[in-house]
Structure 1
């Protein structure tokens, strides 16, 4: 009797379950946002949500670029940087599933040129020189770096010291990539038969996270020596603070070592005393070949054809323009791949050669006098 009762109860339960399954329908979804392709802005929230049209419930799943980010009925997405994002929603129950894909395009934020925009530098974000004879003097301190802001006919001059020393600056607007040269950077090179160039490499960056700070990816403007077999990519050098008037020693990631030597014209520590680390400094970048030599009894440092600042470059017609010009179309990423940039927001210049020179003339150290957006006439 008990066995018959158990069989009867199982049969009733199976019948109830079968009826429920047969009556259940696949998700009938009401999406709060109906489209598939949309454009948004950095740091602007998009509220995605899904509901039911017929009262029948189902499970929710939201994926951002293939990764599950929510199993609730909604998902709030706030893009932190520019880019293209894929958001996929899936509703499911035992009777079936429903999927919908959104493609969200978030362009790089652009600060437009306005009637009061200036073509000259308005902000120096950072300055950290390599060791050098002018470092810790007026041409090589934090206050001196601020003097390259403004009209280049009235600006000061800042020294970047040995290889890797840099300055980062920007304008009051995004610099637009127009046809031809986009940027002019001023230094103090010498031309003629006794040239004195101190080539600086130029890098650019976009404010892809929209925070107004130069903390996004950098791209090198590849000059004439970028593919020179003597140019070393991914070069690293580490300087040690002598903590006094003494030669500054260095080692690099190529197994080499050496010194930047002091001279009697500048009797002080050549290591930047305002650097965050007062023990060691490491700089990374592209190392250009040395162009140090002599013309008769006169020491010279020759310019490269194009693509570097503080360089009396023939292709720039430096004798006439008095600046080096740069095209944003030269931009490459860390792997050497060409990058298409419509605009840029930040510029970094660093000393591209590791040349100690001599105790008469000092080291090769790029100098920057100012810069100009060539898109503003």
Structure 2
């Protein structure tokens, strides 16, 4: 029996080694990619990936991008339709055998670098859309007034009552680094005559690289953001033009109504005369709770701890306003519309809007965020 087993093994081995393989035949061909490491490209750039066989063979190629067939050629030229992460799967078939490779391509919008001529201050106003207010239609409440905050910190613009906003940008991208990245200058007052007019700050990156603020916006979540008992998200208000020197009435989506009242120091129309719609204005966003109160015989509007413009912040760690004389913002505070944190490598646009709906009193008037400038804290 042992002899028979040895004879059969000899026959099998002889048959095996007598079969010659073609060194260039399909059995010896493998497929590699021109590069196989995950890569990052710019939004308007393309990446070319080529399937490279180790020999001659009839190969069927298939490239998938996020599970959709993109090409059936040996080379893939991929240009992304937008920023994001794209999973590329290559499958090459030789007869009945398949070779599969996976590659991740991250498409990131371009970060505009700081150059020798860059300024740390605002260089452009994209939109100025104030709500009604006592300074509107005066010098600080016009498009010319808004332009005064470009290039420095000595101008002044009023955003009017709740929702009124301004959108501006810099001549470079503001990069998200460790700590505070953005400074906003206003004119809040400390105690005992505390008068803050907190503005909510939103930021956006130029994802489509068209130079316009038409990309997703993210709120920089301040100290009041996660307090649903007092802070209202998805707030909406409509102001109605009285078309006279009279209080501007409003209604909101909380079933409330009121008016931005005329005061003697600013006896003129409070509805913006330059607004495209001269019948009504609509604003939406997050509504901060009122901090207006009578304290020791003085009407005051108290500040929040941190995270708002024109706010004499009380948290010396996150926003040391008393030391800096500006409000400091960390781009890492950004959240999406669902309240989830987002990671922004850099931002190109900033939006600030009045966050409280408070008519105040007849001397100080309504609470209306005021901005005198902004700067990139990563630049000295």
TM-score range, shorter chain: 0.7 to 0.9
Cα gap change, 1:179 to 1:47, in 2 (>3 Å): closer
Structure 1 residue 95, shift from structure 2 partner: 5.0
Structure 1 residue 286, shift from structure 2 partner: 1.2
- Give the 5 Å matches for 1:236-247: 236-247=236-247
Alignment length, in residue pairs?
351
Where does residue 165 of structure 1 map in the other structure? 164
Cα distance in structure 2, aligned partners of 1:236 and 1:120:
31
The 8 Å contact of residues 29 and 91 in structure 1, kept in 2 or not, is answered as no
Where does residue 106 of structure 1 map in the other structure? 107
Structure 1 residue 363, shift from structure 2 partner: 0.9
Cα distance in structure 2, aligned partners of 1:193 and 1:371:
27
Q: Which runs of 5+ in 2 are unaligned?
A: 1-25
Cα distance in structure 2, aligned partners of 1:71 and 1:253:
54
Residues 47-79 of structure 1 deviation map (CA, whole Å, 9 limit, x = unaligned):
567799757475x65433223445677764322
- Give the 5 Å matches for 1:39-58: 39-47=40-48, 56=58, 58=60
Structure 1 residue 267, shift from structure 2 partner: 3.6
Cα distance in structure 2, aligned partners of 1:206 and 1:307:
19
Describe the SS at the equivalent of 1:40: strand
* TM-score, normalised by the number of residues in structure 2: 0.82
Where does residue 3 of structure 1 map in the other structure? none
Where does residue 358 of structure 2 map in the other structure? 355
The 8 Å contact of residues 164 and 283 in structure 2, kept in 1 or not, is answered as yes
Cα gap change, 1:62 to 1:194, in 2 (>3 Å): same
1:77 to 2:78 alignment:
yes
Where does residue 7 of structure 1 map in the other structure? none
* TM-score, normalised by the number of residues in structure 1: 0.82
Which of 366, 371, 376 is equivalent to 1:368?
A: 371
RMSD over equivalenced CA pairs, Å: 2.9
Q: Which runs of 5+ in 1 are unaligned?
A: 1-24
Structure 1 residue 368, shift from structure 2 partner: 0.1
1:120 to 2:121 alignment:
yes
Cα distance in structure 1, aligned partners of 2:130 and 2:246:
17
Where does residue 134 of structure 2 map in the other structure? 133
The 8 Å contact of residues 121 and 170 in structure 2, kept in 1 or not, is answered as yes
Where does residue 148 of structure 2 map in the other structure? 147
The 8 Å contact of residues 57 and 94 in structure 2, kept in 1 or not, is answered as no
Where does residue 64 of structure 1 map in the other structure? 65
Cα gap change, 1:96 to 1:242, in 2 (>3 Å): farther
